[in-house]
Structure formats: structure tokens, C-alpha cells
Structure 1
Amino acid sequence: MDKKENPAVVQSVERTFMIIEELGRMPGGIALGDLSSKVGLHKSTVHRLLTCLAGMGYVTQDSFTGRYRLSLKLFEVAGRAVNSLDIVSAAKPHLDRLSAKCGEAVHLVIRDGVDMIYVYKVDANVNSIRMSSSVGLRIPMYCTGVGKAVLAEYAEEEVKQIWETSDIRPLTANTITDLWVLQEQLELVRRRGYAVDDEENEPGVRCVAVALPQMLGGPPAAYSVSAPAMRMRDEQLQQIAEMALQAKVGILHDIGVSP
């Protein structure tokens, strides 16, 4: 029998994708036993397939919690296949215009585990201090505008999972270190459509951030406008938030998603 038609091979492929899809629903990761229950397979079978996926770089296991989650490699493969719908390509012209309009630095990030990674940056065009951000840099989710914008897309239990696997510590005097306080802020983010980093990650810097929908199973993304706190007081912050939300309308239009 041809290997492509071998029922055992087909079954193994089906089971592998069942696991991948279930991992995709659990951004905070999932324990082996829980994953086994969800996909309806014996733990030894799930462990064998996870070991294979991990060996190929598609799955990682948290050394502290033991939870498994998808790595960015899957997104990299998908990104090559759907390059025309790449989030950076889709968002770049709108973020360039947003930065030019408000005169401040704009960042685009994607989620990787409990962190956000800068994938695109537009420097402020006038009278600005140089931001410490750079493409490829990791920042925590729990204390950044972009992180909170993405967290607001998740249910409370998922937020709790991410919180419990994060290294929660005060980076500034304003850093949120209480889950209940964060959950309250996320409710506000959901109501108004944007998140605020009020000098929580970097002293003297405020940010307005907006989440973007996941594209074809890629990682969650968000973008932010960052400025010195003295230049982003509450009135200016509200004006910039409106500009940032308008940019989202344009991005969604270009990728064919209804606002």
C-alpha cells in the first residue's frame, strides 16, 4: 500500500492537527493531561506527538509549569504561505500615517507566550526623546499598553493563566502587580477599544494601544503610540486614542475584516 494511503499515517496526521488546533485555543499553554482529555486521546499518544512537534520546533514546553504551547515557528511557516496578508505589510502604511499625523513613535507588536515582540517601529518625527524600544525586543504583557490591549481579547481564565506564568514585578511605581486590578483595567479596555500604559513599563512614557484581530491563525497583534508623559496628558491622550482607533478601521478594511 502506498504510504500516502496508509490509514495509520493518515490517523497520525489527523491527531497531530487536532493537538495543534487545541493548543491554538490555549494561549497560556495547557498541561498534558488536560490536552489529552480535550482531544480524546491517551496521554502516551499525545505525549509522543508533542515530543515530535517539539523536536521540530512547533511546540514548546514551559520548564516551570510543564504546560505546552505553540511556538512562533508555525506562524513563520504560515507567514511564508500567506505573505500577501502579512500583518506588517497590511498595517505598515496606516501606522506610518498615524505616526506622521500625531508626531509620535508608533510600534507594532505580536504576542509570543507571556511577552510581546516588536516587529515594526516608526520613530517620532519631531522633538522627541529616543524610545528604548527596537524591533525584536521583548516586553511583558501585564504592564504594557499593547499587552493589555491583547489581554482584553481573552476571557478572565485565559488572562489568569497568562498572569500566573508571567514574572510579575514592579518595573516602575505605576506597574500593576495585582491581578484583580489588571482585570478591572481590561474591562475598561474592552469598553473603550484601546488600552493605556500610564508609565507602567517605562518611567516618563505613556502609550495608547489598540489590538488587531488574529490573521489566519497567526499570533495576536497590537500597535501603540508612545510619547513622553509630559506631551501625552489626558487631553492629548484622548485625541491620539481616536487617531489610533481610526487607523484600525483602515487596517481592517485592507485585510477584509469588518470593524
Structure 2
Amino acid sequence: MSIIHRTPAGFAEHAGDRQFATTLARGLEILRCFTPQQPVLATAELARRTGLPKPTISRFTYTLAAMGYLRPDQAAGHYRLGPAVLSLGYPLIASFAFRQVVRPAMEALARQVSGSVSLGMRDRTNMVYVETCRSRATSSFQLSDIGMTHPIASSAIGRAYIAGCAPRERTALLNELRIKTPDLWRQHGATITRTLAAFRDTGYCVSYGDRRPGIFALAVPVGRLANRELLVLNAVSPSWTRRAKQFEPTLAPALLACARMIRDQIG
């Protein structure tokens, strides 16, 4: 009887690519399964999320744990991320020297919005924060943090990224979102179209609880780094800090001004 191996999610686009190391990709995909909401996962759950056989998961988790990227949890057969994962990200964050220069302006804007202000860039079909500043008013309210990700399709920062792309790049990205995140596209596709139309008039994208109920967000594309990565700035605030009709008129000018300052710094 033949054994049917399921292709792990996200690998189909690399079918036939002889340079693509599937074994390495599978191991890295395990690391991406962990979230702040679920920091501890059983091997059975990892198998379900990756589509890999349980024996393969067992070998991979053993190896990743031996290298410090996973840490066995108290419950047998459960793992959490290890400190070695954090060490991987530090060289990247440290290479963004502009973060120190633009931080004072971001901190001032965070105080003004009574929330958080972040810079993000694209990671596949998500946006990931590379810098975040929070006001003291939100110190106990988790809005943003470095490394946090948001789907491009459902977030203001993701839609601002789309708006900041060149036409051909934008078309390719929209097609990718339709194919790779079909559920999100069905839910937010029409909103993306409306948001891009509004962006042409306002220069920013806005979300009133689209991503998280009770959270208002404004976002604007800043510009491209030396490596051509598109950087996006957003401001996020809990809805209880101001009424929806006050959000854009009072904060959009400040966000756009902060984006211009950052653009000058990285340019």
C-alpha cells in the first residue's frame, strides 16, 4: 500500500524548484506555528498545522530543541519557542539604524493618539512590526510590539502597504492575497478596494475595528529602504480614547507629518 504524503501549506508554489530545500522549510514552518495566544503546542497540533506526519514532527522538534530553537514544556510532548529564536532576529533589528533616529517623533505621536505607533514591513502575506512606541495610557493594553504580525488583507498597515506598491507590484500582491488567504479575501476584499480608492484622496488608510473590535488604526506608506523594502507607519488607538468621527481629523495630519519626517531620515 502506497503512503500519501501531504504537501505542507505554503509550499505548492515551490513545486519543481530544485533549489528549494523542503526539509529546511518544513523545520522553519514549525517555528511559525507558535503564537502569543498559543505559546505551547503539542506535537499532534504541530502535525495538524503543518500537514506533516507525526514521526517527522517528532524528529524535527527533537532537532530544533537540541539546537535551542524549541524548549520542551512540562507537559510531555509539548514545546515552546527557545531563546535561540530571539537571537536570530536581533541582527536584523540592529541593522535598522533609522529606528533610533525616528523614535522621538514616534513617541510623540504615540502620546498624541493615546495608543501606539509602529513601523512595519512585509513578511509574505503579513506585515511585521520592526519598531513600536506606546503611550503610557496603553501600558497595560496590548496594542503593538516589535515582531507582532498582522494580515495584509485585514489591517490598515497592510492596506497602506498595498497602496504604496507600484501598480504592477500591487496587482501581483492582490492576486497573491486572493490565492493564499482566500477566507480573508472574501471577508475584506471589497474593503480593500474601497480603501485604495479613498487613499488616492487622503494619502492614508483607516480601519475602524476591521482587524480587532474596538481598535482604530491609521496607516501610511513611508518609503523604501536601501534594500528596497517598503516601510509603512501606523497609529493604533483603543476606541474609548476618542469618537470615530474625531479620529481621522485630529490624528491623520499628525500621522502624515510623522511619515514625512521619517521619509526624510531614511531617504
TM-score (norm 1): 0.61
Q: Secondary structure at the match of 1:130?
A: coil
Residue 218 of structure 1: CA displacement? 4.5
- Residue 231 (structure 2) aligns with: 221
**How far apart, CA to CA, are the structure 1 residues paired with 2:199 and 2:109?**
20
Give the total of aligned pairs. Answer: 194
The alpha-carbon distance between structure 1 residues 133 and 96, as it changes in their structure 2 partners (threshold 3 A), is closer
- 1:199 is displaced (CA, Å) by 0.1
Pick aligned residue for 1:240 from 248, 251, 255? 251
Does the aligned pair in 2 maintain the 1:176–1:200 contact within 8 Å? no
- 1:250 aligns with 261
Aligned to 1:14: none
CA apart distance, 1:213 = 1.2
The letter for the 1-side match of 2:175 is Q
State the one-letter code of the partner of 1:215: L
Residue in structure 1 matching 2:163, options 152, 177, 196 = 152
Classify the secondary structure of the residue corresponding to 1:136: coil
Structure 2: which 5+ runs fail to align?
1-11, 30-49, 52-88
Give SS of 2:136's match: coil
Structure 1 residues 85-124: Cα deviation after superposition (integer angstroms, max 9, x where no partner): 6443343232122113333221222210100112222222
8 A Cα contact 1:114 1:165, kept in partner: no
Normalising to structure 2: TM-score of the pair?
0.59
Paired with 2:111 and 2:190, the residues of 1 have a C-alpha distance of: 37
User: Does residue 95 of the first structure (1) align with residue 106 of the second (2)?
Assistant: yes
Once the two structures are TM-superposed, the CA of residue 31 in structure 1 deviates from its matched residue by 5.9
More deviation in 220-229 or 143-152? 220-229
- 2:197 corresponds to: 187
Contact 1:145 1:197 in 2 (8 A): yes
What is the Cα deviation at residue 176 of structure 1? 7.1
> Hey, what's the Cα distance between the residues in 1 that align with 2:188 and 2:235?
25
After superposition, the Cα gap between the structure-2 partners of 1:117 and 1:226, relative to the gap in structure 1 and judged at 3 Å, is same
User: Structure 1 unaligned runs (5+)?
Assistant: 1-29, 34-43, 65-75
- Larger RCO (CA under 8 A, 6+ residues apart): 1
The separation in 1 between residues aligned to 2:203 and 2:160, in whole angstroms, is: 8
Q: Does structure 1 conserve the Cα–Cα contact (< 8 Å) formed by 2:116 and 2:143? A: no
Counterpart of 2:148? 137
Deviation of residue 141 (structure 1)?
A: 0.6
User: 2 CA distance for matches of 1:95 and 1:148?
Assistant: 20
Q: Quick one: which amino acid aligns to residue 205 of structure 2?
A: A
**Cα root mean square deviation, aligned:** 3.7
Look up the SS of the partner of 1:191 in the other structure: helix
Partner of 2:9: none
CA contact (8 A) 2:113 2:236 kept: no
